[in-house]
Amino acid sequence: MILTKPYNRERAVTYAETWALGRNPLFLNFAGRGGDCTNFTSQCLLAGSCTMDFTPDFGWYYRTPDDRAPAWTSVAFFYDFITEQPLFAAENAGIGPFGREVRAREIEIGDYIQLADDEGDYYHTLIITGFEPNDILICAHTDDALNRRLSTYNFASLRFIHIDGVRIEVPDDICYEPLLEGISIDVNE
């Protein structure tokens, strides 16, 4: 059975602030191999969700540098997976974090920003860690940033990704069969 639980924004932000200027040894640093920004924000999202989707090709997971989903490290695939774009929609109806693109007034700490160039190509993923009057604070990798003001970045456009929740798989009601058979009413078996 699949249920939805809240995304823990505080854990995501704590992770971001802890590792913004360093590297967690559990993950490869992809700087110099296309960039480490989405790998880092995926780690933050994992800290706030503690759930991965291991669907081959269309999931969102990291086991090793050579066994990871494209959505774990790619700006475009991250967006497509989280916002359940058509290619990913059927696959992302399962477990894992999910969200949607929103306007600036709808964002919260622990949400994500992606920056685009003049051609409209999105190239950088950041996590929102706080707010100041007329500015947003972010953490990021590749060009490491700890609570940096978004206004200090040079970009042509951006999009905001709000995390709505996390789908988790839980065992179906384990009390039904013993109850039906007259064996037990203990729902903790």
Query: Per-residue DSSP letters for the chain?
Result: -EEEE---HHHHHHHHHHHTTS--TTS---TTTT-SHHHHHHHHHHHHH---B--TTTSB-EEETTEE-HHHH-HHHHHHHHTT-HHHHTGGGSSEEEEEEE-GGG--TT-EEEEE-TTS-EEEEEEEEEEETTEEEEEETTTTEEEEEGGGS--SEEEEEEEEEEEEE----TTHHHHHTTS---TT-
For residues 78 and 69, give the distance between their C-alpha atoms in angstroms, rounded to a whole number. 9
Tell me what the pLDDT averaged over the chain comes to: 91
Residue 6 CA: distances (Å) to CA of 49, 111, 142, 151: 8, 13, 29, 30
Q: What pTM did the predictor assign?
A: 0.89
For residues 54 and 185, give the distance between their C-alpha atoms in angstroms, rounded to a whole number. 34
Residues of the chain with pLDDT under 50: 189
Each residue's pLDDT tens digit, 37-62: 999 999 999 999 999 999 988 899 99
* The predicted structure's pLDDT at residue 186: 65
Residue 3 CA: distances (Å) to CA of 45, 56, 65, 74, 88: 18, 21, 30, 27, 19
C-beta separation of 166 from 5 below 8 A: yes
* The predicted structure's pLDDT at residue 189: 43
Q: How many residues does the chain have?
A: 189
